[in-house]
Structure 1
Amino acid sequence: MNTLLEDAQAAGASVGLTADRITLQGGKPLVGRIELKGAKNLVTKAMVASLLGETPSELRSVPEISDVRVVKGLLEVHGVKVSAVGDDTLLLDPANVESAHFEVIDAYAGSSRIPILFCGPLLHRLGEAFIPDLGGCRIGDRPIDFHLESLRRFGAVVDKQPQGIRLTAPNGLKGAKIELAYPSVGATEQVLLTAVRAEGTTELRGAAVEPEIMDLINILQKMGAIISVDTDRVIRIEGVERLEGFKHTALFDRNEAASWAAAALATNGDIFVGGARQSEMLTFLNVFRKVGGAFEIQDDGIRFYHPGGKLKPVIIETDVHPGFMTDWQQPLVVALTKAEGVSIVHETVYEQRFGFTDALVDMGAHIQLHRECLGGAQCRFGQRNFNHSAVIVGPTELHGADVVVPDLRGGFSHLIAALSAEGTSTVSNVGIIARGYENFIEKLRALGADFVLEA
């Protein structure tokens, strides 16, 4: 076990960038082409789904990001053989699934919250699972209560221990009727990964229906699952005794696409995002156009560019799909600092997602945070004293500053701000950005960004 633990710690140390600070010279438009691979929010869940198969799975368009490396390590310590084929394909063979010691799981997991999704598949395969203390970006409460309560409904026994939570299924897992108080993506994934092998039928009400969820359902159906999706956020899963492996090309990363689109707008640039598709980005494209951005839809991607002229203020309210994604608002806020007038962003998904704006204010932006629900209907955070609405007054010229990355999307937003600012900025803790943006340093270089990496 000591060898496994040492390997896990070494793998964790190698995740991300060798440099953790980048100095950027702003004021230069980003121009060029970058290519997307599979979505972070789908690929890692598809890797977990491979545990459910009796035969190997093949997952294509896998990005080289640290979250993928974390899940690869977690699968390997549970006995799954993970092999790379070419630049972006993984073969996952679960023939020898086994239990893993909590210290090894914890060492591999690091700040990732992915281990919670291992529970259903491991309960089916081994009759037990363990969850260490969970991390993730500090953007809100993100409790695992939905997950644990759902697992209990399937018949799992939850035992909280000093090192984490141990789950067992002494009588196997049975189908259940579950209703989510909020359409949580993670909780929906949990139910899907657990219900497909549970005895009987599961009915999930209040489910999330994001494109990544639908692509996970596509994968599970390829494996032999029986899943129907109604228009009223109801998903029904008929449990089956056996699932096979899958062959699947992952959905493109629409969050990364929106981030580069915002970078083009904020820097007066012109970026072609290869692999992006219109259908999954419909809501974002509407807002992008309202702000004053321009785009061209092509068969192999979308060109995003600043057409000249003044940017316009907008009112945005984040929401679950098909609404405006919470992961889209942070990069777009940087562009809104350059819009002429007052923009309002009402965050309804995560209650503490505006922490990244402190750095923008230091760079000269006029942003005020409010506890009230501004610009839209009352949301679940309205009476809880969270600063979940932002008022952005522009246009303002940002200036260089020293910035520390707080979380994944906020960190990329800081890069955009530095690239659009006058002068020199230093952005530290950029390793976090590697969790969800593949080769972002190389992509910045290809787009003509002026920067220096520092250890």
Structure 2
Amino acid sequence: MAETLVVDDGVNDRAEAGLAKDAAKAAERVGLKADSIVIRGGKPLVGRVDVRGAKNLATKAMVAALLGKTPSILQDVPQISEISIVTKMLEAYGVAVTSPEDGVLVLDPKNVERAHFAQIDALAGSSRIPILFCGPLLHALGEALIPDLGGCRIGDRPIDFHLDALRAFGAIVDKSYEGIRITAPNGLTGANIELPYPSVGATEQVLLAAVRAKGVTELKNAAIEPEIMDLIAILQKMGAIIWMEPNRTIFIEGVETLHGYSHRAIFDRNEAASWASAALATHGDIFVAGAKQQELMTFLNVFRKVGGAFDVREDGIRFWHPGGPLKPVQVETDVHPGFMTDWQQPLIVALTQAEGISVVHETVYENRLGFTEALVEMGADIVVHTDGLESVTRRVPRRKLEQAAVITGPTKLHAADVRVPDLRGGFSYLIAALAAEGTSTVSNLGLISRGYEHFVDKLTALGADFDLV
């Protein structure tokens, strides 16, 4: 009999209701009619899944289409709710978005116009993408209005870096009861910007604003994630002039006009790593079609150290549990080329089965280990240190608000009823339920559809035993 568990994670009832509403909206956008999944665990996942374009690139590439004078074509677009949100936002600004075939979007910005605030506000609560519309809208319309932002509740994620960067370009930022109104009466001018932290979002903001700003922009301490490199490739295809130095410095020479692009999005390495962790936790064997070695090298090293096996092929990577005990590891999340914060949550489920003590230092988001409370209720031995932990073997510098999870294993996981708290934590609950003995119910299912395409169909293909309710 499953144990009933409601994961609060420090949020109040109002926030919990908002989370359920977000989940329902996300599910509706991709046609997912169920709120919950009932999983009968203890069965290895075996088979093949296909991963398409990265959520963290495809949505930004769609925004970049606003900068062009001609239509853009984006390929390998996943069917996830975040894509639906950005599509509706672009349409609110007059961009024509069509899909001539599955996984392909044509984005035509020739009729860009000011959107009604109510339209944008209704969409923005479910995503943090709207802040990246600022640069393209300032170039196209001379102003941008950004309402309160949504997204996963995994930390503060302030937008100060974004606003400071826009001010450096000469934009005027005014805060009102509606949100943030940004104007550029004299246009944007290239600037020298140094980020206090190599934020992916702030780096994207600078790139999207600088490509049509007057003069040269120098961005120091930039993020260099593969999705950033793919966005730079898109902007260069559009006519931008961008070059890099090896010390996280990016130079952008502004140009007067840009045209549309044709681009195939980089694969979603977060989804690939999640399925790899699922194979490990369930003693399974999963071939992830579309996954590539280069962008997963850091993850693959940890996967091998834990005791997992993988085989890199031309069209994807096979991940499997080779038998025998798993080994404990110490992991520190970091910006690229470090271990991604999005990888640690699924991996922690697998680490509950390792023989010994593993430590995961979360240095990127301060609230990202809250999801482990549900795993503890399912039988895992996990202690979260809210102030982090010192270690002589650490390589990533201590950061403010970091946390650490100490996982002692192996422990048998048993069934429970859990509510999805966020995107990656939600998928981790699916993995835990699939690995656990007994029948679990995972609710707030729609949040997982924000970043995992057709995950229900993929579970079916892998032989999972479940029902949607």
Letter of the structure 2 residue corresponding to residue 331 of structure 1: P
How far residue 286 of structure 1 moved from its aligned partner, in angstroms, is 0.4
Deviations 1:165-220 (A, max 9, x none): 11110111000000000000000000000000000000000000000000000000
1:247 maps to 262
The aligned counterpart of 2:453 is: 438
Aligned to 2:178: 163
Give 2:330's aligned amino acid.
Answer: I
| Equivalent of 2:156 in 115, 127, 141 | 141
Q: Report the equivalent of 1:118.
A: 133
Question: Match of 1:344?
Answer: 359
Range 100-109 or range 68-77, more displaced: 100-109
Aligned length: 442
* Partner in structure 2 of residue 305 of structure 1: 320
Report the counterpart of residue 260 of structure 1 in structure 2.
275
Residue 165 of structure 2 corresponds to 150
Secondary structure of residue in 2 paired with 1:209:
coil
Cα RMSD, aligned residues only: 1.2
How far did 1:320 drift? 0.3
TM-score of the superposed pair, with normalisation by structure 2: 0.93
- Summarize deviations over 1:344-398 as a string: whole Å, max 9, x none: 000111111001100000000000011233442574545x4x6x10000000000
Listed as ranges, the gaps of 5+ residues in structure 1 are: 1-9
1:108 Cα offset (Å): 2.0
Moved more, 423-432 or 13-22: 13-22
Q: Work out the CA distance in 1 between the residues paired with 2:388 and 2:465.
A: 40
The residue type paired with residue 389 of structure 2 is C
Deviates more, 1:81-90 or 1:107-116: 107-116
Structure 1 segments, 4+ long, off by >3 Å, are 10-13, 377-382
Where does residue 31 of structure 1 map in the other structure?
46
- 1:3 matched residue in structure 2: none
Contact 1:351–1:381 (Cα < 8 Å) also in 2: no
Q: Which SS does the other structure have where 1:79 is aligned?
A: coil
Equivalent of residue 15 in structure 1, options 22, 29, 33: 29
2:69 pairs with 1:51: no
Matched ranges for 1:197-236 at <5 A: 197-236=212-251
Partner of 1:7: none
Deviation at 1:135, TM superposition (A): 1.1
Q: Is 1:402 paired with 2:417?
A: yes
Aligned equivalent of 2:389: 373
Pair 1:77-2:108 in alignment: no
SS in 1 for 2:99: strand
Q: 1:277 aligns with which of 289, 292, 315?
A: 292
**CA offset at residue 163 of structure 1?**
1.3
Q: Give the secondary structure class of the aligned counterpart of 1:92.
A: strand
2:429 paired with 1:414 = yes
Q: Which residue of structure 2 aligns with residue 296 of structure 1?
A: 311
- Identity, in percent, stands at 70
Equivalent position amino acid for 2:128 in 1: R
CA distance in 1, matches of 2:388, 2:206: 33
1:364 equivalent in alignment to 2:379? yes
Q: Secondary structure at the match of 1:85?
A: coil
Deviations 1:262-301 (A, max 9, x none): 0000000000000000000000000000000000000000
CA distance in 1, matches of 2:63, 2:50: 25
Deviation at 1:109, TM superposition (A): 2.4
Q: Please state if 1:176 is matched with 2:194.
A: no
SS in 2 for 1:344: strand
CA distance in 1, matches of 2:437, 2:357: 22
Instruction: Work out the CA distance in 2 between the residues paired with 1:175 and 1:372.
Output: 39
Per-residue deviation, residues 230-267 of structure 1 (Å, max 9, x unmatched):
11000000000010000000000000000000000000
Which structure 2 residue ranges, 5 or more long, are not aligned? 1-23
* Contact in 2 for aligned 1:12/1:107 (Cα 8 Å): no
Take 2:328 and 2:448, find their aligned partners in 1: how far apart are those partners?
28
Residue identity opposite 1:175 in structure 2: G
Q: What is the CA distance between 1:101 and its match in structure 2? A: 1.5
Aligned equivalents of 1:14, 1:360: Cα separation in 2? 28
Q: TM-score, normalised by structure 1?
A: 0.96
> Contact 2:195–2:222 (CA<8 Å) still a contact in 1?
yes
1:103: Cα distance to partner?
Answer: 1.1
The CA deviation string for residues 412-451 of structure 1, in whole angstroms up to 9 with x for no partner, is 0000000000001000101000000000000000000000
Query: Aligned equivalents of 1:378 and 1:38: distance in 2?
Result: 29
CA distance in 2 between partners of 1:262 and 1:426 (Å): 20
Aligned counterpart, 2:200: 185
User: 1:199 is aligned with what amino acid?
Assistant: K
